[in-house]
Copies of this chain bind each other. A is one copy, B any other.
Amino acid sequence: MTTTRLLTSRSADAWGQLLLGCHTAGLPRDTYFEICERDDGYISGYDAVGFFAGPGDWPELDRWAFTRFRGRVLDIGVGAGRFAVPFQDGGGEIVGLDVSADTLDVCRRRGLRETFLGTVDDVPQSTRFDTFLLLGRNLGLLESRDRGPRLLSTLARLARPGARIVGTGMDPYLLDGAQHTEYLAQNRRRGRMSGQMRLRLRHRLLVTDWFDYLFTSLPELESLAEGTGWQVAEVERHGPEYGVVLTLG
């Protein structure tokens, strides 16, 4: 009996069930973990309580980003609503978008009024936003050399004049450890971007499909944005992590 064979027969929403379980249980520490597996076998964990943290407990980079929301906001990959709920509670106008119905359920239980189930490609063309959020390292949703520019172009079409993207990401070249250096090199040999992480999330018996999640250097990010209308207007670095504001040129 191998784990892989059994797991691939399940397609339930590991990520949403993790957040829903953690929320329903009253956010106990040391009980719900985001367990993330990379396709070289590298595995990592993170206490899911962190996805519910309030602004006072956020890392500095998140607080930096939070001050940069303007107008009507689309939170892409809203998760448990860590940014969306306090922004709405402070009088802001924000829509939480996610492909996971369970995460949107969590957001609504936490009081978020506007949610959208789907990807940015599913958002009606008549809908417009002033700010697009790619937080919690969700610049990773740029996925790949092909998908990144397409996602940015979609956001440009949904943008009001003067719109911005506020995102956080990770510079893969600043990751510590031979295991990461080797992974990056292997990606390049396979024609992928260095920081194109192939991941899946696991929770209890559930597992997501494999997906690409992209870590880029800032020059790589600028290169992905070329021709999409967006350009990097502001940068905030914290070790290998960074925050950026992109604006329409």
Contacts and interface: CB of A to CB of B under 8 A. Distances in A.
A30 interface: yes
Task: Give the interface SS of chain A, mostly helix, strand, loop or mixed.
Answer: mixed
A31 to B, nearest CB: 9
A17 B42 CA distance: 14
Nearest to A48: B45
Nearest to A50: B30
B43 A35 contact: yes
A241 interface: no
A24 interface: no
A4 B2 contact: yes
Contacts of A203: 43
A83 interface: no
B39 A1 contact: yes
A203 B43 CA distance: 6
Given A45-B33, A204-B44, A3 B39 contact: yes
Interface residues of A, number: 28
Contacts of A29: 47
Contacts of A1: 39-40
A215 to B, nearest CB: 17
Contacts of A205: 40-42, 179
Contacts of A10: 41
Contacts of A42: 204-205
A164 interface: no
Contacts of A173: none
Interface of A: 1-4, 6-7, 10, 29-30, 33, 35, 37, 39-47, 50, 179, 202-205, 207
29 contacts: A1-B40, A2-B4, A3-B37, A3-B39, A4-B4, A6-B41, A7-B41, A10-B41, A29-B47, A30-B46, A30-B47, A33-B35, A33-B44, A33-B45, A33-B46, A35-B35, A35-B45, A40-B205, A41-B202, A41-B205, A41-B207, A42-B204, A42-B205, A43-B202, A43-B204, A44-B204, A45-B45, A47-B47, A179-B204
